[in-house]
Structures are given as structure tokens and as C-alpha cells.
Structure 1
């Protein structure tokens, strides 16, 4: 694999992982707003983009495993870093979703209890 091909793979990984990362951030914005349907939709979009980035990475690994010599440049290192940090961010966002759902449910329970106490005091 020549340098140009290797760079194209790197830019493919960067592009798809970048779109995935943007979708994760949109999901986190939706979580903070309590819009869990949108958050789930954005996390699904992030997964779709991540699959494409991962395919490019996997194709590169298969080529290497099959004996193709691949010259690694700094852009490929950057691409791998981009992919791994996006994967980690996505995993953390998935955990945050459950936490935000619990927080919003508890806030609703607290509001209902406050209303019940206020009506008893009246």
C-alpha cells in the first residue's frame, strides 16, 4: 500500500470518527435537555459512523495481515487516536444516558412529593 492509499484510509477514519464524535456530543446535549429519544437517535447515528471508521481500520489490518507492507505516517497515528477517543467518548455517553434518565425520573418524584406536602400543609 503506497503512502497515498494509506493517507486516504487515515482520512476516512478521521472523517467517520469525527462525524461519530459530533453525533455523540449532540446526544449529550439532548441528554442534558431531557430529550432521551433524540439522545438515543444521536447515539445510533454515532454507531453508524463508527462502524464505517472501524471498517476502514479493519481493512487496513487485514491488508497488513495478508502481507501488504504499509508505511505508517503521523496522520495514521492521528486517525487511530481520533478513533479510539471517539469510541471511549461514546461508551461514556451511553453510561451518562442511563444516569440522566434516573436523574430526570428522581426530579419528577421530588416535585410530586413537594406538591403532596404542600397540599397537606394547606
Structure 2
């Protein structure tokens, strides 16, 4: 297994994290369509990393063993962290939507008084 393959996982996982955080910032600003776009891009990056990982697993299942290196562990750590953060950020975006809706309702009621 080449280092290039391992770095592909790191690259896609890092891109996924960056997109997820861009999505969170968009949600904090109230731009939920933009947030959704960033989260979709994050999911695409996670999928790309998973494809690389699946190829590695298939090679091992076919008897092509890979020496476990610190670099592989590092790549897996990046991927798992990106997955966890993306999931958390998706929930945070939903919370921001709810907060925005409640704030809008509260402002509407306050304006009527």
C-alpha cells in the first residue's frame, strides 16, 4: 500500500471536516441552504474517504496484508474524527434552525404587542 492511498483518506477526511465547519458557520449566520450545501459536500468527502478505506479492506480480504503503520492509524483517526464531527455539526445545524424559528416567532409576538 502506498503512502498516496493513505494520504487520500487524510485529505478527504480533512476536507469533510472543513466543509462541516463551514456549514456550521453558515447556520450560525442563518444561511441554512448554504449550510446544507456544505454538509452535502462534507458527506461527499466522507464517501470518498470510505471508498479508499473499502479498497484497503478488500485488498486485505484478498490476502494482500498491509503492515500497520502509524500513518495508517493517523488516517483512520482523521476519518473517524471527521465522521463524528460531521454528525455532531448536523445536529447543531438543526438546533440553529430551531433557535431561529423560535426567535422569529418570539419577535413576531413581541411586535404585535
Q: TM-score, normalised by structure 1?
A: 0.89
1:1-122 → structure 2 map (5 Å cutoff): 1=1, 5=2, 7-117=3-113
Q: Which has the larger radius of gyration?
A: 1
Q: Give CA-to-partner distance per residue, 1:23-76, whole Å, 9 cap, x none.
A: 001000001001000000000000111111110111001101110010111011
Offset, 1:92: 0.8
- Alpha-carbon distance in structure 2 between the residues aligned to 1:30 and 1:53: 24
Paired with 1:22 and 1:104, the residues of 2 have a C-alpha distance of 24
Structure 1, unpaired ranges of 5+: 118-122
RMSD across aligned positions (CA)? 0.8
> What do residues 94-115 of structure 1 show as CA deviations (whole Å, max 9, x unaligned)?
1112111110000001111111
Q: How many residues align?
A: 113
4+ residue runs of structure 1 moved beyond 3 angstroms? none
Unpaired stretches in structure 2, ≥5 consecutive residues: none
